[in-house]
Amino acid sequence: MPLTPPAEPDPEPKMNWASFYAVISGVNRHSTGIGRIWLSVLFIFRILVLVVAAESVWGDEKSGFTCNTQQPGCNSVCYDHFFPISHIRLWALQLILVSTPALLVAMHVAHRRHVDKRLYKLSGRSNPKDLEQIKTQKMKITGALWWTYVISLLFRIIFEVTFMYVFYMIYPGYKMIRLVKCDSYPCPNTVDCFVSRPTEKTVFTVFMLAVSGVCILLNIAEVVFLLGKACSKHLHNAGDSTMGAWIQQKLSSF
């Protein structure tokens, strides 16, 4: 999936998301069509938007957080009280954790390839052409790979939902307030503190949550699709063989 990131003044963090993309998109070859759509949505509407837009909105979150007091330290303490962890960091962690189950599939595919290579060598077909073919051949999502794939999808859904829940727990309502009232030490009495860019932050929060919801739906659709495919395959096979033979076939495909 070709993706050219726009030019950025600071190459270091972008390099890491780009190399992360290279690692994750390698798994793409063994995904279903819905899986590829999910990956594109993840990279274009979440990671790219995070890096290109959201990070600059939250960039001045601490320096722009002003409290109506001259008491030193009150700003820091109130900021820490109302923002235990920044939205940007939560989203970065969410994106990293949500992408990693795909690596389970990559590991399984590598393992299968290794086993196939060994079988080829044992059966005498060890010329470089055959071994190259194993590397480039697309694995079918059947047997144990089907289970690995479905488990990775379930983990993805669990991580997404967990992060959305954590988000809701820390920042109830998804809306960024303009004004917070703070009375932690060393603030004298109750002090008004103003959050920087609350409306822009609300817009991006709602956008990121909406895309997160879309990704959850895509993952659920992919699980349903895989289940449907597996069921239809077994029904088709059960049509012309007995139950025992069906079980035997299922076992032999693992």
Q: Which stretch binds another protein (CB under 8 A): 38-46, 99-107, 173-181, 231-239?
A: 99-107
| Least Å from the CB of residue 90 to another protein | 9
Cis geometry, peptide bond prior to residue 13 (ω within 30 degrees of 0): no
Q: Contacting another protein (CB under 8 A), which of 48, 77, 180, 209?
A: 77
CA 82 – CA 80 distance, rounded (Å): 6
Instruction: For CA atoms 122, 125, 131, 133, give the dihedral sign.
Output: negative
Q: Which of 111, 118, 125, 233 binds another protein (CB under 8 A)?
A: 111
Instruction: Give min distance, CB of 105 to another protein, in A.
Output: 13
Residues 182-241 that bind another protein (CB under 8 A): 185-186
Q: Which tokens in the block code for residue 196?
A: 């920087």
Q: Per rule CB under 8 A, is residue 148 in the interface with another protein?
A: no
Helix %, strand %, coil % of the chain (to 5): 70, 5, 25
Q: Which of 33, 72, 124, 239 binds another protein (CB under 8 A)?
A: 72
The three-class DSSP label of residue 175 is: coil
Task: Report in angstroms how near the CB of residue 86 gets to another protein at its nearest.
Answer: 6
Stretch near another protein under the rule CB under 8 A, chosen from 84-92, 174-182, 191-199, 224-232: 84-92
Q: Which amino acid is at 132?
A: E
Does the bond joining 186 to the residue before it have cis omega, within 30 degrees of 0? yes
113 binds another protein (CB under 8 A): no
